[in-house]
Amino acid sequence: MEESSPPSVDVVRDFLERSTVSYHLMGCPRDPWMAAVDALWSEVGQRQQEAARHRAQELAAEVALAEQRYEALCSQRGGAVSRAESLSARHASCHADIATPRRTLEEVSSRIAEHEAASLVLAEGVAAANAEVAAIERECAESRAALSALQASLADSRRGGAMFDSVDHDGLLTKKEF
C-alpha cells in the first residue's frame, strides 16, 4: 500500500471478506490466513492513522493560513473603514462648501433676475419718456415757429400803419423807414 493515499477502510474490508471467502472455499487452513488478515488489517489501521494524522497536519496548516488571512483582512478592513469614513466626512464637508456658494449664487441669480425685470420696465419707461420729449420738442419747435411768425406779423402790423410812407418811384411803391 502507498503511504500517502491508503485505500479506504471499506475497500480493504470488502477485499478481505471476498479473499477470506475464496480462501475458505478453496479449503485452505484457517489460522495462517487469519494471521495474515490480522497483520494486513493492522497495517491498514496504522496507515489510516498516519493518513489521518497527515491530513490533520495539513488541515492545521490550512487553518493557520486561513486565520492569518482572516486577521490580515480584518486589519485591511479597519484601514478601509477608516479611509471610507474619512472620505465620507471630507465629501460631506465638500458638499457643504458647495451648498453655501450655491445658495449665494441662487440668491444673486434671483436678484439679477429681479433687477433685469425692473431694468426692462425702466427701459420701456425711458423709451416712452424719450418719445414724449421728442414729440413735445417738435410741438415746441412748431409752436416757436408759429409764435415767431405771429410776432413778426404783429411787429409788421404795428410798424406798418404809422411808419409806412408811400412814395412812387417809377411806379413802384416802396416802404420808407424813418
Query: Does residue 128 have a pLDDT over 90?
Result: yes
Note the pLDDT of residue 39: 84
> Whole-number mean pLDDT of the chain?
84
Query: Does residue 62 have a pLDDT over 70?
Result: yes
Query: Does residue 137 have a pLDDT over 90?
Result: yes
- Residue 168: phi, psi to the nearest 5? -95, 115
Nearest to 34 by CA among 51, 54, 49, 19: 19
- Residue 132: phi, psi to the nearest 5? -65, -45
Q: Convert the pLDDT of each residue in 4-19 to its tens digit.
A: 677 777 787 787 788 8
Note the pLDDT of residue 170: 57
Cell of 90: 471630507
Q: Is 170 exposed, middle or buried (0-12, 13-18, 19+ CB in 10 A)?
A: exposed
The CA distance from 152 to 72, in Å, is 115
Total-model pTM: 0.38
99-108: average pLDDT: 90
